A = this chain, B = another copy of it.
Amino acid sequence: MPTQLEYARKNIKSAQIKTVAADEKIPLGKITAECAAGRIVIPANIHHKKLHPIGIGKILRTKINANIGNSSVQSCPKEELQKLKTAVKYGADTVMDLSTGANIRKIRREIIGHSTIPVGTVPIYECASIVQDTNKLDFELFLDVISKQAEEGVDYMTVHAGLLKKHVPLAMKRKMKIVSRGGAILAKWMACHNRENFLFENFGRILDVCRKNDVTISLGDGLRPGCLADASDKAQFAELDTLAELVGECRRAGVQAMVEGPGHIPLDQIEMNMRKEDEVCDGAPFYILGPVVTDCAPGYDHITSAIGAALGAFYGASMLCYVTPKEHLGLPDVEDVRNGVIAYKIAAHAADVALKKPDARMRDDMISDARAEFDWERQFKLALDPERAREYRRSSLAKAAKRQKKKDFCGMCGPQFCSIKASSEIAAQKPAK
């Protein structure tokens, strides 16, 4: 079967392409052309039966990804399904299962079985969990793992094939060196064996597997900066050049590809980073992690990174990988998933509104109308997180039990000095001449 890229090149409007066009309210021809050019990817493994396909690309609604999955410190398959459910409920467009602990395969199969949104993985994690000593990794194991994952229905896979041996010394000069798990595993392997990255050397065989099952390749940035001091450095951009070459290889092989990006980036370097990827990688969708815009707020990195993500999307990133409040400290639990997803819905939506994407501001206008009319229920329904908004209003009115039945004020100003009420009184009389 052809991949979505191949369908588009032949100008065949696949069911997936049609769905994306309809969902995004963009003409079918335009979507097809962007897919054919590789500027839109539709991660849709032919084996992922429950999938409702989405497109990832600059002209589309900005997408967000939620990372879930266990580590050897924390592991419970049931909790991972709960995280999936929470991520989908609050609007994640894709999930990545980043498990590195026990039951990797079982967890992944359950996630794919339950998921209507694309599922991504970082296959080197499963390989690492098999060999334990990561210096014992080899390409045959990797190929076996991705073949099985592809047959299970994984829609996209992060492959750190762009991190070369010659890049490692550049990274060793940094304050934080290598903070990507996959990148660190591979760099250590290269240093230990004094050999080139086996993912780079065997990239063609990876493409065969992806081509066959239409797995989208997400070119991992093993050298993403891990602190502001390391941002936009030689190591980062040397790897980006290699990722750009690999984008070309993917496209030649008919495999869909996107590129992963930073990381930790100061506010003033975000625009440059987005434009650079777009140029260097010939418009391949940029899938960024945050970026966080300061290093000094552990516990609040959903916020530090939502700032960077909003700007990143505004300057052209196509998908935002969420960061939760637990980033740098531990794995997210279900509540962290909720907080991370909402922070990223905000970032993505704010960018889409600013970019005037189709109908993006409609929700804002509707909720503002509801707010002006004191229609609290409608306001809650239109909120990104109705439960939280409802809970906050309830708790702030609790102390004024008697007034609870009145609806035409909020707990901020109280009923006496409500600006919205005053406004409607002014509007009701003839405006002053």
Chain A: interface size category: 35 or more
| Chain B residues, CB < 8 A from A194 | 432-433
Q: Is A3 in the interface zone, CB < 8 Å from B?
A: no
| Chain B residues, CB < 8 A from A400 | 73-74
Question: A371 is contacted by which of B176, B326, B379 (Cβ under 8 Å)?
Answer: B176
Residues 406-423 of chain A: 1 if any B CB is under 8 Å from the residue's CB, otherwise 0? 000011111111111011
Question: A399 is contacted by which of B73, B228, B329, B433 (Cβ under 8 Å)?
Answer: B73
Residues 161-176 of chain A: 1 if any B CB is under 8 Å from the residue's CB, otherwise 0? 0000100110110011
| Chain B residues, CB < 8 A from A177 | 372, 420, 423-424, 426-427
Please tell me if the beta carbons of A346 and B303 are within 8 angstroms of each other in the complex: yes
Please tell me if the beta carbons of A330 and B417 are within 8 angstroms of each other in the complex: no
Smallest CB–CB gap between A185 and chain B, Å?
6
- Tallying the copies of this chain within the complex gives 2
Q: How far is it, in angstroms, between the C-alpha of A187 and the C-alpha of B380 when the chains are bound?
A: 29
Please tell me if the beta carbons of B410 and A330 are within 8 angstroms of each other in the complex: yes
Q: How far is it, in angstroms, between the C-alpha of A364 and the C-alpha of B227 when the chains are bound?
A: 8
Smallest CB–CB gap between A362 and chain B, Å?
10
Within 8 A of B (CB), among A51-103: 71-74, 100-101
A73-B396, A181-B419, A191-B432 known; A368 vs B314 contact (CB < 8 Å): no
Smallest CB–CB gap between A241 and chain B, Å?
19
Q: Is A22 in the interface zone, CB < 8 Å from B?
A: no
| Chain B residues, CB < 8 A from A279 | none
Within 8 A of B (CB), among A146-182: 165, 168-169, 171-172, 175-181
Smallest CB–CB gap between A177 and chain B, Å?
4
A227-B364, A229-B364, A314-B268 known; A417 vs B73 contact (CB < 8 Å): no
Q: Which of A7-15, A33-41, A42-50, A288-296 contacts B (4 or more CB under 8 A)?
A: A288-296
Please tell me if the beta carbons of B361 and A307 are within 8 angstroms of each other in the complex: no
Please tell me if the beta carbons of B303 and A185 are within 8 angstroms of each other in the complex: no
Smallest CB–CB gap between A133 and chain B, Å?
9
Please tell me if the beta carbons of A304 and B350 are within 8 angstroms of each other in the complex: yes
Q: Is A334 in the interface zone, CB < 8 Å from B?
A: no
Q: How far is it, in angstroms, between the C-alpha of A361 and the C-alpha of B72 when the chains are bound?
A: 34
Smallest CB–CB gap between A391 and chain B, Å?
8
| Chain B residues, CB < 8 A from A168 | 426, 431-432
Q: Is A354 in the interface zone, CB < 8 Å from B?
A: yes
Question: A298 is contacted by which of B172, B295, B383, B419 (Cβ under 8 Å)?
Answer: B383
Q: Is A347 in the interface zone, CB < 8 Å from B?
A: yes
| Chain B residues, CB < 8 A from A73 | 396-397, 399-400, 403, 411, 414-415
Please tell me if the beta carbons of B417 and A128 are within 8 angstroms of each other in the complex: yes
Task: Pull 21 A–B residue pairs with CB atoms less than 8 Å apart, ordered by A.
Answer: A71-B413, A73-B397, A73-B414, A74-B400, A101-B414, A128-B416, A165-B432, A168-B432, A176-B420, A178-B426, A179-B420, A181-B418, A181-B419, A226-B368, A266-B353, A295-B364, A296-B383, A299-B385, A326-B392, A326-B411, A327-B412
Given contacts A101-B414, A176-B372, 15 further A-B contacts (CB under 8 A): A71-B411, A74-B400, A177-B427, A185-B422, A187-B426, A190-B432, A191-B432, A267-B314, A268-B354, A295-B365, A298-B380, A298-B383, A329-B411, A330-B412, A331-B396
